Chains A and B, each alone.
Chain A
Amino acid sequence: MLFNSVIFLIFFPIVTFLYFVMPHRYRWLLLLLASCYFYMSFVPVYILILFFTIAVDFIAGRYIEKSSGKRRKLFLILSILANVGVLFFFKYFNFFNHNMIRAVGLLGWNYPIKDLTFLLPVGLSFHTFQSISYTIEVFRGNQKSERHFGIFALYVMFYPQLVAGPIERPQNLLHQFYEKHQFDFERVGSGLRRMLWGFFKKIVIADRLSFFVSQVFNNVYDYQGISLVIATVFFAFQIYCDFSGYTDIALGAAEVMGFKLMNNFNRPYISRSISEFWKRWHISLSTWFRDYVYIPLGGNRVIWWRVGINILIVFLLSGLWHGANWTYIFWGGLNGLYLISSSLTVAIRKKITSIIGLDHFPKIQKLWQIGITFSLTCFAWIFFRANTFVDAKYIIKNIFLGWGNFLSNINNLTFLKDNILMGKNLAEFVLAIMGILFLLLAEWWQEKSTIFTQSLKVKSFLRVLAVATIIFAIFFLGEFKNQQFIYFRF
Chain B
Amino acid sequence: MKKFILGLYLLVVVFVLFILIGGKIKSFGRIFLATQKENNVSYGDLYTISELKAFHLPIPTKKSTNKSNIDEADIFAFGDSFLGSHLGEKNLPSLLEDNLKMPVYAVPLAVENPLEYLERIHYKKGATKIVIVESVERYAVNRGFAYSAPIATTVNISSWKKNINDLDYLIFDTTDIDYFFKHNIFINPLRLFLKNLNFSLFGRIDSRIGAYSLQPPMLFYFEEVNFDKNLRNATLAPKVAKNIKFLGETLKDKYNLKMIYVVIPNKYTIYNDLDKHGSYNNFIPRLQSELSKLNVDYVDLYSRYVANRTNDRQLYYPNDSHFAPLGKEILVEELDKKIKQILKK
Contacts and interface: CB of A to CB of B under 8 A. Distances in A.
29 contacts: A6-B174, A6-B177, A6-B178, A6-B182, A7-B177, A7-B178, A10-B16, A10-B20, A13-B12, A13-B16, A14-B13, A14-B16, A17-B13, A40-B172, A41-B172, A41-B174, A189-B5, A211-B207, A417-B277, A425-B202, A427-B201, A427-B204, A428-B204, A431-B202, A475-B190, A475-B194, A476-B197, A477-B198, A481-B207
Interface in B165-205: 168, 171-172, 174, 177-178, 181-182, 190, 194, 197-198, 201-204
Contacts of A431: 202
Given A14-B13, A414-B277, A481-B207, A6 B181 contact: yes
A13 B11 CA distance: 10
A417 B276 CA distance: 11
Nearest to B2: A185
A41 B174 CA distance: 9
Contacts of B198: 476-477
Contacts of A13: 9, 12-13, 16
A185 B3 CA distance: 11
By secondary structure, the A interface counts as: helix
The 4 closest A-B pairs by CB, nearest first: A427-B202, A10-B16, A7-B174, A6-B181
Interface in A144-160: none
A9 interface: yes
A481 B206 CA distance: 10
Interface in A396-425: 414, 417, 425
Given A6-B177, A10-B20, A37-B171, 6 more contacts: A7-B174, A7-B177, A40-B172, A41-B174, A428-B204, A476-B194
Nearest to A7: B174
Contacts of B13: 13-14, 17
Interface string A417-455: 100000001011001000000000000000000000000
Q: Interface residue tally of chain B, by bracket?
A: 20 to 34
Nearest to B10: A17
Contacts of B172: 40-41, 44
Interface of B: 2, 5, 9, 12-13, 16-17, 19-20, 168, 171-172, 174, 177-178, 181-182, 190, 194, 197-198, 201-204, 207, 277
A9 B194 contact: no
Contacts of A6: 19, 174, 177-178, 181-182
A10 B207 contact: no
By secondary structure, the B interface counts as: helix
Contacts of A211: 207
B232 to A, nearest CB: 11
Contacts of A428: 202, 204
Contacts of B204: 425, 427-428
A476 B194 CA distance: 6
A458 to B, nearest CB: 16
Contacts of B5: 185, 189
Given A427-B202, A427-B203, A431-B202, A9 B16 contact: yes
Contacts of B20: 10, 14
Interface centre among A6, A414, A476, A477 (most CB of B within 10 A): A6
B203 A425 contact: yes
A171 interface: no
Contacts of A37: 171
Interface string A204-242: 000000010000000000000000000000000000000
A5 interface: yes
A10 B9 CA distance: 12
Nearest to B174: A7
Contacts of A14: 13, 16-17, 20
Nearest to A480: B182
A189 B19 CA distance: 24
Interface string A196-207: 000000000000
Nearest to A431: B202
A14 to B, nearest CB: 6
A17 B202 CA distance: 39
Contacts of B201: 427
A6 B184 CA distance: 13
A127 B17 CA distance: 31
A427 B204 CA distance: 8
A211 B222 CA distance: 14
Contacts of A189: 5
B157 to A, nearest CB: 16
Interface string A156-198: 0000000000000000000000000000010001000000000
A189 B4 CA distance: 13
Contacts of A185: 2, 5
B16 A5 contact: no
A40 B172 CA distance: 8
Interface centre among B181, B202, B207 (most CB of A within 10 A): B202
Contacts of A414: 277
Nearest to A18: B13
Contacts of B2: 185
Contacts of B203: 425, 427
A51 to B, nearest CB: 18
Contacts of A475: 190, 194
Nearest to B201: A427
Contacts of A477: 198
A10 B202 contact: no
A134 to B, nearest CB: 29
A10 B177 contact: yes
